[in-house]
């Protein structure tokens, strides 16, 4: 029996796995201690729980527990990594390379760096959403200190070639930071094999709680340091002060453990559902897949339905299905998705896009219902779309002089 609403927005956030909540509960009540209290059992219990969680988190990305800095989430991790490296390595240089489909937490931090006198190169992605490696290498200069490229994109799910990126960075003695918010817990991420020096990720994208994340900071080959952005009691090896969010960290650890143990099985199941959804929706006339077909997260697909507008489309089923659109109307700015525009999509196709993010609890029944609802709504809205009528009459929409408003 289908239960409504169906949640297909797992790139925005995920529900907490009940096993995660169960692990967290004692740390709100009985084991409430401050992990920095060194002189009594409450503190010891909290510290022990944090240490264990740190191991669980580290294991998921093949890091050493000492390389995990707990944060409030990926936005903080992005800020700490980029600003922290910029300040720590100021004597080495001031140039950072990133790309134009990064999350705002990276892009806006880079804008801040520019105001502080730094220099930032924003690589343009190709129409499949991946960066050009030759362009990356050509952008490296003697004063380049950091390459900041996301592991996987939040809107289209494309996976960047991290191994190749880090090989280029190594060759030139440049550090690699990756915002891996969408990738960790979904696909195998190994900081050593991938050659990553700093990596931000967060619990709430992998069935853990909101408000807790981590920054991986490499300790060996090379030993990387970041300047703290929050000063205080010197927690987290001096890189991030503030009383640790013990229940959150415990939940994060549990979430990582579950992801590690169940990833293979879950990926097989979810990617099969995603493929079904994608295949069926691409059968709709004038529908287009956004982003690379192959280098892509197993649970995401992003499709544009030409001649219908994304928000109008979602309204047809948003009582029953929750998902996201690249349409302007879903944001405050009235600008359509900059990620989709960076792929070279016209504004019209960007306005017509839907992002489907499947997850651990998505069922085949839900996907079948979604296919039916989306297809029906697209057809219904096209019946009332003047653009669809013109398209069917063979009128080239580019020849029309639109009254821009």
Partner 1 sequence: MAYSEKVIDHYQNPKNVGTLDKSKNNVGTGLVGAPECGDVMRLQIEVDDATGIIKDAKFKTFGCGSAIASSSLATEWLKGKSVEEAVKIDNMTIVEELNLPPVKIHCSVLAEDAIKAAINDYRQKNGLEELKFEESVIH
CB–CB of 356/370 below 8 Å?
A: yes
Options 9-17, 25-33, 112-120, 347-355: segment touching partner 1 (CB under 8 A): 347-355
Which CB atom, from 134 or from 332, has the smaller least distance to partner 1? 332
Whole-number minimum distance, CB 301 to partner 1, in Å?
22
Looking at 54, 240, 351, 360, which residue binds partner 1 (CB under 8 A)? 351
Sign of CA dihedral 307, 312, 318, 324: positive
Per-position DSSP letters for 240-259, written without gaps between them: S-S---HHHHHHHHHHHHHH
Known active-site residue 329: yes
Pick the catalytic residue: 99, 110, 259, 329?
A: 329
Which CB atom, from 116 or from 389, has the smaller least distance to partner 1? 389
Which CB atom, from 1 or from 403, has the smaller least distance to partner 1? 403
Site string for partner 1, 376-395 (x = CB under 8 A): -------xxxxxxx------
Which CB atom, from 56 or from 385, has the smaller least distance to partner 1? 385
199 closest CA partner among 212, 185, 210, 214: 214
Residue 222, preceding bond cis, omega within 30 degrees? yes
Whole-number minimum distance, CB 327 to partner 1, in Å?
6
Number of residues that bind partner 1 (CB under 8 A): 30
Whole-number minimum distance, CB 224 to partner 1, in Å?
43
DSSP code, position 17: P
Site for partner 1 in 110-139 (CB under 8 A): none
Options 89-97, 224-232, 290-298, 301-309: segment touching partner 1 (CB under 8 A): 301-309
Sheet holding 119-123, edge to edge: 68-71, 213-217, 198-202, 175-179, 144-148, 95-99, 119-123
Whole-number minimum distance, CB 325 to partner 1, in Å?
10
State the burial class of residue 341 (Cβ atoms within 10 Å of its Cβ: 0-12, 13-18, 19+).
middle
With binding defined as CB under 8 A, does residue 12 bind partner 1? no
Which CB atom, from 263 or from 329, has the smaller least distance to partner 1? 329
Which CB atom, from 255 or from 340, has the smaller least distance to partner 1? 340
Whole-number minimum distance, CB 374 to partner 1, in Å?
16
**Rounded to whole angstroms, how far apart are CA atoms 32 and 26?**
8
Site string for partner 1, 306-345 (x = CB under 8 A): -xxx-xx--xx----------xxx--x-x-x---------
DSSP code, position 199: E
Site for partner 1 in 231-250 (CB under 8 A): none
Q: Which residues contact 210 (CB under 8 A, 6 or more apart)?
A: 13, 73, 203, 204
Whole-number minimum distance, CB 394 to partner 1, in Å?
15
Instruction: Map residue 390 onto helix, strand or coil.
Output: helix
Residue 333, CB-side half-sphere exposure with 13 Å CA sphere: 6
Which residues in 191-325 belong to E strands, given as ranges?
198-202, 213-217, 287-289, 300-305, 321-322, 324-325
Question: Where are the alpha helices (H) located in 225-245, listed in sequence order?
Answer: none
Looking at 190, 286, 348, 368, which residue binds partner 1 (CB under 8 A)? 348
DSSP code, position 16: P
**Rounded to whole angstroms, how far apart are CA atoms 373 and 111?**
41
With binding defined as CB under 8 A, does residue 402 bind partner 1? yes
Which CB atom, from 49 or from 313, has the smaller least distance to partner 1? 313
Whole-number minimum distance, CB 375 to partner 1, in Å?
17
Which residues of this protein are in contact with partner 1, per CB under 8 A?
A: 307-309, 311-312, 315-316, 327-329, 332, 334, 336, 346-348, 351, 383-389, 397, 400, 402-405
Catalytic residue numbers read 329
């Amino acid at each position: 029996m289908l239960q409504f609403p169906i949640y297909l927005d797992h790139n925005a956030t995920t529900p907490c796995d009940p096993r995660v909540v169960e692990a967290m509960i004692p740390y709100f009540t009985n084991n409430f201690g401050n992990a920095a209290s060194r002189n009594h059992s409450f503190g010891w219990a909290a510290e022990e729980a944090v240490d264990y969680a740190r191991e669980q988190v580290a294991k998921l990305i093949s890091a050493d527990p000492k390389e995990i800095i707990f944060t409030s989430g990926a936005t903080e991790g992005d800020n700490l990594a980029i600003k922290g490296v910029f300040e720590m390595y100021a004597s080495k240089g001031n140039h950072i390379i990133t790309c134009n489909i990064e999350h705002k937490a990276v892009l806006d931090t880079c804008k801040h760096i520019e105001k502080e006198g730094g220099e930032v190169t924003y690589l343009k992605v190709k129409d499949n959403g991946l960066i050009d490696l030759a362009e990356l290498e050509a952008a490296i200069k003697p004063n380049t200190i950091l390459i900041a490229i996301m592991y996987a994109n939040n809107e289209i799910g494309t996976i960047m070639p991290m191994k190749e990126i880090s090989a280029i960075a190594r060759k030139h003695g440049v550090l690699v930071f990756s915002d891996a918010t969408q990738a960790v817990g979904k696909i195998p991420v190994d900081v050593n094999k991938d050659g990553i020096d700093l990596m931000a990720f967060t619990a709430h994208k992998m069935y853990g709680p909101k408000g807790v994340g981590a920054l991986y900071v490499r300790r060996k080959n090379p030993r990387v340091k970041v300047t703290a952005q929050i000063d205080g009691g010197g927690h987290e090896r001096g890189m991030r002060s503030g009383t640790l969010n013990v229940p959150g960290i415990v939940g994060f650890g549990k979430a990582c453990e579950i992801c590690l143990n169940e990833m293979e099985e879950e990926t097989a199941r979810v990617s099969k559902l995603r493929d079904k959804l994608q295949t069926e929706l691409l059968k709709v006339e004038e529908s287009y897949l956004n982003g690379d077909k192959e280098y892509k997260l197993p649970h995401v697909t992003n499709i544009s339905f030409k001649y219908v507008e994304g928000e109008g489309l979602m309204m047809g089923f948003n009582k029953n299905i929750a998902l996201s659109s690249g349409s302007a109307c879903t944001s405050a700015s009235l600008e359509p998705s900059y990620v989709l525009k960076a792929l070279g999509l016209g504004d019209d196709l960007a306005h017509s896009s839907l992002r489907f993010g499947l997850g651990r609890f998505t069922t085949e029944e839900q996907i079948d219902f979604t296919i039916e609802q989306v297809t029906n709504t697209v057809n219904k809205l096209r019946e009332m779309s003047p653009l669809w009528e013109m398209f069917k009459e063979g009128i080239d929409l580019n020849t029309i002089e639109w009254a821009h408003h």
